[in-house]
């Protein structure tokens, strides 16, 4: 269910980026590179929403590893993609860039940890079930 919510949000946030953000950035005289920052956030949001969903439906991975991987992907989306969304419009959210700067790479580490955890869950599931 959480992956469905994150997918819904990715579509809505992506639609805003495609239709509303460009005009906003131009009207405010902000650098056009902000759109690329936002797009990167949306892309990784979608990739890891799918990863969250896949983590939960892989039949031969152990449940505790699948749940942990999905949680790590979720935290990664919040930190990595969320910080990029906020960085793109930082003048209007009143959050110091010093706070947002470290959130992006930390979110990336959560993404990586999610993938590693999913790998371990599949490996352990295959080992315990003798699936080749």
Residue 108 is predicted with a pLDDT of: 95
Q: Do 43 and 56 touch, CB atoms closer than 8 A? A: no
CA distances from 89 to 16, 35, 45, 111, 130 (A): 12, 9, 17, 23, 50
| 132 found inside a domain | no
| 39 found inside a domain | yes
CA distances from 51 to 4, 45, 85, 123 (A): 12, 10, 20, 17
Q: Do 35 and 25 touch, CB atoms closer than 8 A? A: yes
Q: Per the structure block, which two tokens stand in for 45?
A: 């949001």
| 131 found inside a domain | no
| 11 found inside a domain | yes
Residue 59 is predicted with a pLDDT of: 79
Please report the DSSP string for 108-122 in residue order.
HHHHHHHHHHHHHHH
Question: In total, how many domains does the chain have?
Answer: 1
pLDDT in tens, the chain (132 residues): 888 899 999 999 999 988 888 888 888 888 889 899 999 999 999 999 999 998 888 877 778 888 999 999 999 999 999 999 998 888 777 777 777 788 999 999 999 999 999 998 888 877 776 544
| 130 found inside a domain | no
- Domain span at residue 98 reads 2-125
CA distances from 88 to 5, 17, 25, 84, 106 (A): 23, 10, 9, 6, 18
């Amino acid at each position: 269910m959480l992956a469905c919510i994150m997918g819904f949000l990715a579509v809505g946030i992506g639609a805003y980026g495609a239709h509303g953000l460009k005009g906003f950035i131009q009207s405010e005289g902000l650098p056009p590179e902000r759109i690329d920052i936002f797009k990167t956030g949306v892309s990784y949001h979608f990739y890891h929403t799918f990863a969250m969903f896949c983590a939960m439906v892989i039949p031969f991975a152990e449940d505790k590893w699948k749940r942990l991987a999905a949680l790590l992907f979720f935290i990664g989306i919040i930190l990595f993609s969320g910080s990029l969304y906020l960085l793109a419009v930082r003048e209007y959210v009143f959050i110091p860039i010093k706070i947002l700067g470290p959130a992006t790479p930390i979110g990336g580490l959560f993404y990586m940890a999610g993938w590693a955890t999913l790998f371990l869950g599949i490996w352990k599931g295959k080992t315990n079930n003798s699936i080749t």
